[in-house]
């Protein structure tokens, strides 16, 4: 029955958990981002923005459940250590997600005069959720200790992640909208891209300074040369993206998908960069994935299921995105 040993399983499940977190950040990232920059002075734009994420947001949030679930079942000691240390910001994250999730449905069903109220709830909920995630990430990076400096760093990280979500959210809107709202999204995308750029740059510089291990990963040859591809790709995306956003929109809506694609690359490289910095630790400098992994028997049984089910999930997710391809204003409820 146990045809994979503990070591291999720990690595596989660390990979699966990381994959879920990354997908969550990209997918819920764009729908949170749409919420963060929801234009409060234009109801039609709000309707279109929200229609663009309508068919997807439920499934996007499920990646968070999977990520936290995998952490819980595969690395229970890490789940408890990380989320206990992040108990308060995690609670704010949950409150934010609750508020925006229900606002999404209430806004379409309440009296017209109350719609604006729920739009605000949607926007503020999205901001709270994004900021909390950034705060949690920041505190994680500096070792889950609430010192004065760490909290300042975590707050800064909160801003960065919010900006990064706004970036990918507006990139999504460029892909899914036309005309004025698209122009508006291009402008917003450029602004949030700037903020995200400086944020990622700052974290990349601060992280090796506070963590000796991280410095080693990025400076010890021969791997360091190879790893250099990651930050270079990431910052190249910002540079090229800046140019692309300047030129958009093009005729026949060419290149409307580029900003989103590039944002995904930015998310991917930033994430891989972080993951490399911390491997093999799951709780920074305290607990490795090999120490925290639960027993081989239960990981095996989940792994067998995952091998069969994950391709199916991937298939119907692709089907859903294919079904709702094209511009959002053509989307009709029901």
Partner 1 sequence: MDALILSRIQFAANISFHILFPTITIALGWLLFYFKLRFNFSGHPVWMRAYRFWVKVFALSFAMGVVSGITMSFQFGTNWPGYMESVGNIAGPLLAYEILTAFFLEATMLGIMLFGSNRVPSWVHTLATFLVAFGTTMSAFWILALNSWMQTPDGFEMRDGIAHATDWFAVIFNPSFPYRLTHTLLSSGLTVCFLVAGISAYRLLYKDHKKAPRLTLKTAVITAAILAPLQAFVGDMHGLNTLEHQPAKVAAMEGLWHTVNGAPLVLFGIPDAETQTNKYALEIPGMASFILTHDFDGELKGINEFEGEHPPVAPVFFSFRVMVGIGLLMIFISWWSTATVLRKKSLSKLQLKILIGMTFSGWVATLAGWYVTEIGRQPFIVHGVVKTADAVTTIAGENVAFTLAMYISIYIVLLIAYISTIFRMAGKAVKEEEYDLTPPGLPESEKGDAQEVAA
Query: By the criterion CB under 8 A, which residues form the site for partner 1?
Result: 54-56, 58-59, 61-62, 64-66, 68-74, 76-77, 79-80, 83-84, 87-88, 90-91, 94-95, 97-99, 101-102, 104-106, 109-111, 294-295, 297-298, 301-302, 305-306, 309-310, 313, 316-317, 320, 323-324, 331-334
DSSP alpha helix (H) spans, the chain:
6-36, 43-53, 57-74, 76-85, 87-109, 112-141, 148-176, 179-210, 212-219, 223-227, 229-247, 258-278, 289-292, 296-323
Nearer to partner 1, 67 or 262 (CB): 67
Nearer to partner 1, 44 or 110 (CB): 110
Nearer to partner 1, 223 or 316 (CB): 316
What token pair was written down for 81? 């250590």
Angle at 184 between CA 181 and CA 187, to 5 degrees: 155
- Cβ count within 10 A of residue 231: 16
Rg of the chain's alpha carbons, rounded to an integer?
20
User: Least distance from C-beta 64 to partner 1, angstroms?
Assistant: 6
3-state secondary structure of 281: strand
81: Cβ contacts below 8 Å, ≥ 6 apart: 144, 283, 286, 287
User: Least distance from C-beta 332 to partner 1, angstroms?
Assistant: 6
Nearer to partner 1, 145 or 297 (CB): 297
User: Least distance from C-beta 83 to partner 1, angstroms?
Assistant: 5
User: Least distance from C-beta 247 to partner 1, angstroms?
Assistant: 31
Nearer to partner 1, 65 or 239 (CB): 65
Nearer to partner 1, 99 or 234 (CB): 99
- Return the biggest CA–CA distance within the chain: 63
User: Least distance from C-beta 30 to partner 1, angstroms?
Assistant: 15
User: Least distance from C-beta 217 to partner 1, angstroms?
Assistant: 28
């Amino acid at each position: 029955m146990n045809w994979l040993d503990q070591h291999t399983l720990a690595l596989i499940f660390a990979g699966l958990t990381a994959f879920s977190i990354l997908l969550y950040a990209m997918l819920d990232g764009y729908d949170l981002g749409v919420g963060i920059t929801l234009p409060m002075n234009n109801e039609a734009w709000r309707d279109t923005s929200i229609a663009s994420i309508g068919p997807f947001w439920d499934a996007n949030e499920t990646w968070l459940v999977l990520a936290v679930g995998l952490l819980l079942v595969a690395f229970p000691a890490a789940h408890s250590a990380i989320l206990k240390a992040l108990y308060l910001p995690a609670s704010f994250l949950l409150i934010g997600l609750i508020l925006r999730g229900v606002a999404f449905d209430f806004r379409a069903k309440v009296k017209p005069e109350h719609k604006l109220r729920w739009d605000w709830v949607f926007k503020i909920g999205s901001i709270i959720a994004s900021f909390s995630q950034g705060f949690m990430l920041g505190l994680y990076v500096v070792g889950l200790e609430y010192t004065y400096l760490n909290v300042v760093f975590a707050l800064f990280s909160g801003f960065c992640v919010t900006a990064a979500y706004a970036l990918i959210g507006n990139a999504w809107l460029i892909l899914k909208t036309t005309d004025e709202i698209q122009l508006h999204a291009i402008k917003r995308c450029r602004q949030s891209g700037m903020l995200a750029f400086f944020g990622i740059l700052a974290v990349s510089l601060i992280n090796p300074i506070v963590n000796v291990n991280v410095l080693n990963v990025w400076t010890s040859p021969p791997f360091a040369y190879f790893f250099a591809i990651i930050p270079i790709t990431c910052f190249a995306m910002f540079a090229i993206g800046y140019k692309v956003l300047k030129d958009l929109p093009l005729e026949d809506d060419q290149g409307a998908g580029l900003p989103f694609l590039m944002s995904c690359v930015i998310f991917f490289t930033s994430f891989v960069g972080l993951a490399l910095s911390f491997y093999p630790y799951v709780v920074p400098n305290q607990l490795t994935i090999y120490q925290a992994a639960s027993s081989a028997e239960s990981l095996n049984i989940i792994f067998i299921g995952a091998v069969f089910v994950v391709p199916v999930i991937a298939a119907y997710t692709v089907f859903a995105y294919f079904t709702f391809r094209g511009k959002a204003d053509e989307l009709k409820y029901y």
